[in-house]
Amino acid sequence: MNASGIKLGLGLYTTLFIVFLYGPLVVLAILSFQTGPEGGPQFPIIEWSTYWYKHLFGLTPPSRIAPLPIEQALVRSLALAVMTMIVSTVLGVTAAQAFRKKFRGSGVVFYLIVLGMMVPGVLVGLGMALVANTLGVDRHWWGTAFVLHVVYTFPFAFLVMLAIFNRFDPSVEEAAWSLGVTPARTFRKITFPLIFPGVLSAMLFAFTLSYDEFSRTLFASGRDLTLPLAIYGTFSVEVHPNVFAFGVLTTLFSFALLGTYAVLMGLSVRRAKRMAIQEEA
C-alpha cells in the first residue's frame, strides 16, 4: 500500500472513531431541544425549544411529567466521586511510593491491588451486599459503596503513579537529602511537585470512574441512589427528553473538568518555559 493509501485509511478510521464516539452525544444533544411537554425522545424535532432544560430546574408549569428525581442523586454522586478521588489518589501515591523499593512479597501485593480493577463489578457489588447483610452492616453510598469505589479506582491511581515513578530520577531526592533536608520535606518540596502532573491524572481517573460507576454501586449503595442508578431508574418508567437535557449538562460538566485538568497540567509543565521567556525579555 502506498503512503497516500495509508493516510486515507487512517483518516477514515479516525473519522469513524469520532462518529462512534460523538454520534450518540450529538443525537442526545439535538433531542434535548425537542419541544415539551408533548414532544417525545424521537425524531423529528417538532419545534426547537429549551423546555426540557427549564423542566430540569423546575422552571416549567406543572405537567403530567414529573421532574427527574436526580437532584439529590447528583449531589451524592459528586460527593462520592470527590471522596473516592481523594482517598484513592492518596493511597495510589503512597502505594506507588512504597513500590519504588523492592520488598518481600511485592509481586503478590501488586497483583492483589490490580485485581481490584479486574474482577467483575456486579460480583463484587453482590458480594459486598452479602457481607454487609451477614455482618449486619447497613448499606450506604457513603459506606459500602464508597469502599467498593475506592477498591475499584485505587488500582488505576496506583498504576498511573507507578508509571510516573518509573521515569522519576531518584538522584534529585538524594541530592536534597545530602543538602541536609529531611526525607519528608524532600517529598513535599521536590518529589511531589515533580510528580504532580501524574497526581492530577490519577485524580481525574478516580473521579470519573467513581462518578459513573454503576454495577458495584447497584448492590452496595442501599436505599439512596447515586446518579447513574437514578438515571437508570427513570428509564424503567418512560423516557422523556429531560434525561437528554441532563445528559448534555453533565457532559458539559465533564468537559469543564477536563478543561481544568488541562489548564493545571499546562501550568505545571509551562512553568519552566515561562521563566525562560521572562529571562529573554
Partner 1 sequence: MSAVLQLKNVHKAFAGVPALAGVDAALMDNSYVSLLGPSGSGKTTLLRVIAGFEQPDGGEILFAGRRIDGVPPHERGIGFVFQNFALFPHLSVAQNIAFGLENRAVAPVTDAKAVTARVRDMIGLVGLTGLEDRAVTQISGGQKQRVALARTLVTEPSMVLLDEPLGALDANLRTRMRGELRTIRERCGVTFLHVTGSETEALAMGDTVLVLDRGRIAQATDAGTLYSRPASADVARFLNCYNIFSGAVSGNVFESPVGRLALGGVRQASGRPAYAIRYDRVAIRPRDAAAAGDEVRIEASFVASEYSGAAINSFFTLDDGRVFEVETHLSHAAPEAFEEKARYALVWKREDALVFV
Residues that bind partner 1 (CB under 8 A): 169, 171-172, 174-183, 185-186, 189-190, 193-194, 271-273, 275-276, 278-279
Provide, rounded to whole angstroms, the least separation between the CB of residue 266 and partner 1: 15
Nearer to partner 1, 110 or 196 (CB): 196
Residue pointed to by grid coordinates 450518540: 24
Least CB distance to partner 1 at residue 195 (A): 11
Q: Which residue reads 491511581 in cell numbers?
A: 157
- Residue 1 or 281: the one with the smaller Cβ distance to partner 1 is 281
Task: Tell which phi-psi region holds residue 180, choosing left (phi > 0), alpha (psi between -120 and 50) or beta.
Answer: left
SS3 category, 139: coil
Give the residue with the Cβ less far from partner 1, 4 or 278: 278
Gap between the Cα atoms of 209 and 193, Å rounded: 25
Least distance from partner 1 to the Cβ atom of residue 164, Å: 14
What is the nearest approach in angstroms of partner 1 to the Cβ of residue 179? 3
**Nearest distance in Å: CB 177, partner 1:** 4
Report in angstroms the alpha-carbon separations of 44 from 32, 48, 217. Answer: 12, 10, 36
For residues 191 and 242, which CB has a smaller minimum distance to partner 1 in the complex? 191
Chain-centroid distance, C-alpha 199: 14
When the beta carbons of 223 and 273 are compared against partner 1, the nearer one is 273
- Sort residue 182 into left (φ over 0), alpha (ψ -120 to 50) or beta: beta
User: % helix / strand / coil in the chain, to the nearest 5?
Assistant: 70, 0, 25
CB of 198 to partner 1, least distance (A): 14
Q: Which is nearer to partner 1, 237 or 277 (CB)?
A: 277
- Work out how close the CB of 181 gets to partner 1 at its nearest, in angstroms, rounded to a whole number: 5
CB-nearer residue toward partner 1: 153 or 186? 186
Q: What DSSP character marks residue 41? A: S
* Distance between CA atoms of residues 177 and 30, nearest Å: 59
- CB-hemisphere CA count at 13 Å for 1? 8
